[in-house]
Structure 1
């Protein structure tokens, strides 16, 4: 009799994940800003011993146009080993790929041909709207009992509240709205959890009409974008507490909880302060029986000649860092902070999460600097480190340069270009000069989020320390 065994890319603990074999492929969502051509999932070779290392080796086009592929995720991950909702015999096989503009959701099978993922299911917008009351799907996380899909908009695609839809692991059908009692939560963005403590955390960006045509100056200066974190009872699906960071701290975006399931803290990046254009990183943590958030990193704006700035920030005479993504290594030691405006990627030692210590920085792109990659020193680059993904063992860091179509156009009006880079993260923190797909490598599309074969630092949660 054959024995069923869990997927070998499921890991009981962060320690096991760190020891796992390195990824051989990276999957990258790439979109056509003009919506004239289909978006695609690009597959890149990440095996340094391969003759095609650092190159696009696979390409799966979507069947429609205008999706704007954004954040996507695996159908299953290490949380399938959790003892209270075990699904050990499902596979990390499918990529769940939402279109942020179209509200369409694609399911891609990577098993048979990993470099040529095959579209096996398409969920149309009306299914998400009718069954969950949401639109504009943004982020996918694999939980122990289903797929959690955050969405920015209500069923009509414009107003909120945004929230979380739950999808079935196997059929990928929309089961319904996750929230039973959402309390004061209205704006949505990311969701993550402390899975062993039955705590879910959500962050805030804005409704579709607040973001889809770029930053709205009146809303930003009026402090109308998101500025709160929300804490939920994961099992009862009920809102427990809201923590306001202060309305000057606009847009707390990516949530990165500690991977160690015995820890109850995590980091969130705040895009901009309307008081001084600085960006920040906050630590959420327990404070007695309640939750609190403490600012642990502040990154100031950089003064600049207004003539060198795009119109949206000319009046300020400075470049905001615009922290639009952060990522925490699986061993919970290193926090990577992408400053998309200034073109800087910072590395912090967060062994003491309340007192991060900067331990490395690189520059590439940037609104004013246009710093080139070391592999092409004569090629000025637009965009900046945006989405950042870290390998399970923490030794490799991948970044892409596009944020979101309308925002790209505002901050880089002469064109954001297309590039991806890899850094080696050890005693030194430096670019890998062999890995720099750019320009025509992405066939005119803009690369956004990266997922690594077998999982990565932001794809899995663990139930054992």
Structure 2
């Protein structure tokens, strides 16, 4: 009798995922900051043996303008192999693409034409508001219960933001995920420890404080997000809040350990109001409670005020502005994007409470404007959205943060680009001199997803 096998890109453990074949395509969210042309999902050839290596080889345009495509993800992933998953034979086939500004969700089918995904469904904001009372959709993750999507606000643009569930086959909006949210109001990223039945969420701010750019009074008043929230993943109830402290603002990307037996992870904090430094914090289990410790601090760099954007001139320094992080599949290396200074830093986090720097490159940057071997000349923007291949040998990143925030720190404008780093055995990173995508205007590149999965797309139930 014929048997139905799970999708071959699903792996029970991170160790097996790391042995997967190398990716040949990268899917990249591209948005028009002027909101005059539709945003798109671009497809980049990342196969070094291909004649079109380092080129955009396909594109799917959205049907509307002004979406601001953001942190998209797959409909299904390795979490489908968990014992409590009800859909082990679902395919990693559809990209679920949110519009952060429009609150739309776009469903793209990659199966038959991976270089030209087909738009098969659009979920309008009215449906999301009616069924989940949320708006400003930010991040997508596939999990054992279906598709999780988080939102930064309620349907009216106010607090609380939160998470909703979608059916993994019909893409119907099921409703709000939270049963008891406790004190949680602000939202940003979310991830989980499947082996410890724990969800973690972080904080940014409400649309009124970011859709037209960061508001200095809100930032200096310490009114952006500065907390982590811990939830019971099964009961969907809030359990614990940890505040990093008033000086720490914009608590963003969450990266839990891939090994489901490990109860720790990393979160980036964009800026300290004390000295403009950025920081990485490690959360970990301590008895029956969660604790958080600052384990990396990246200082600001002194600079001539005349070289700085108005928002930084009074400080006479360039803030690192850590805006994204990613953790390799073996939980060994953490990659940290410093969008302000232009650094991409590699840390060995074998001991998650004592990281050690093992590699660094610089490209772009508010003041440095460092170049690339293939591009020539100074570049603007800096390392922003970062993605790591499953085997940990390749690191990709783009240079745009958010349409309304980009000009606050790069007032001359951002010309989009995407680059690739090679990772050396035992630590160290360097540019792939053959790979530089000079992004076609008017779009700017943001989130990256790798064909077959990557280090921030999947979660695992077996060590």
TM-score over 0.5 for the alignment?
yes
Q: Is the 8 A contact 2:132 2:176 kept in 1?
A: yes
Deviation of 1:439 (Å): 3.8
Q: What is the rounded CA distance, in whole Å, between the counterparts of 2:162 and 2:66 in structure 1? A: 23
**CA separation of 1:84/1:66 partners in 2, compared to 1, >3 Å: closer, same or farther?**
same
Q: What is the rounded CA distance, in whole Å, between the counterparts of 1:297 and 1:438 in structure 2? A: 32
TM-score computed with the length of structure 2 as normaliser: 0.99
1:25-64 correspondence runs (5 A): 25-64=25-64
The match for 1:461 is 459
1:46-125 correspondence runs (5 A): 46-125=46-125
The 3-state SS of whatever aligns with 1:130 is: helix
Q: What is the rounded CA distance, in whole Å, between the counterparts of 2:144 and 2:173 in structure 1? A: 16
Post-superposition Cα deviations, 1:66-119, rounded to whole Å, max 9, x if no partner, equal 000011000000000000124111000000000000001100000000000000
The 3-state SS of whatever aligns with 1:80 is: helix
Post-superposition Cα deviations, 1:171-216, rounded to whole Å, max 9, x if no partner, equal 1111000000000000000010001211000000001111111111
Q: What is the rounded CA distance, in whole Å, between the counterparts of 1:464 and 1:408 in structure 2? A: 40
2:303 matches 1:304: yes
Q: What is the rounded CA distance, in whole Å, between the counterparts of 1:314 and 1:174 in structure 2? A: 46
Q: What is the rounded CA distance, in whole Å, between the counterparts of 2:196 and 2:301 in structure 1? A: 40
The 3-state SS of whatever aligns with 2:433 is: coil
The match for 1:196 is 195
2:336 matches 1:337: yes
Q: What is the rounded CA distance, in whole Å, between the counterparts of 2:196 and 2:79 in structure 1? A: 13
Q: What is the rounded CA distance, in whole Å, between the counterparts of 2:81 and 2:92 in structure 1? A: 12
The match for 1:17 is 17
2:443 matches 1:445: yes
The match for 1:221 is 220
Deviation of 1:137 (Å): 0.2
The match for 2:141 is 141
Deviation of 1:247 (Å): 1.4
Within the candidate set 385, 388, 397, 1:387 is matched to 385
Post-superposition Cα deviations, 1:260-288, rounded to whole Å, max 9, x if no partner, equal 00000000000000010000000000122
Q: Which runs of 4+ in 1 moved over 2 A?
A: none
Q: What is the rounded CA distance, in whole Å, between the counterparts of 1:452 and 1:393 in structure 2? A: 12
2:239 matches 1:240: yes
Q: What is the rounded CA distance, in whole Å, between the counterparts of 1:382 and 1:138 in structure 2? A: 25
Q: What is the rounded CA distance, in whole Å, between the counterparts of 2:195 and 2:429 in structure 1? A: 33
- Is there any run of 5+ residues in structure 2 with no aligned partner, and where? none
The match for 2:405 is 407
> Bigger CA drift: 82-91 or 62-71?
82-91
Q: What is the rounded CA distance, in whole Å, between the counterparts of 1:32 and 1:457 in structure 2? A: 27
2:288 matches 1:289: yes
The match for 1:257 is 256
The match for 2:179 is 180
The 3-state SS of whatever aligns with 2:228 is: strand
- Is there any run of 5+ residues in structure 1 with no aligned partner, and where? none
Q: What is the rounded CA distance, in whole Å, between the counterparts of 1:11 and 1:247 in structure 2? A: 41
The match for 2:355 is 356
Deviation of 1:426 (Å): 1.6
The match for 2:370 is 371
TM-score computed with the length of structure 1 as normaliser: 0.98
Q: What is the rounded CA distance, in whole Å, between the counterparts of 2:17 and 2:287 in structure 1? A: 31
Post-superposition Cα deviations, 1:32-72, rounded to whole Å, max 9, x if no partner, equal 01110000000000111000001000011001000000110
Deviation of 1:374 (Å): 1.3
Q: Is the 8 A contact 2:418 2:439 kept in 1?
A: no
Number of paired residues?
A: 461
The 3-state SS of whatever aligns with 2:17 is: helix
Deviation of 1:376 (Å): 2.1
Post-superposition Cα deviations, 1:361-412, rounded to whole Å, max 9, x if no partner, equal 00000000110111123x2111000000000000000000000001101100
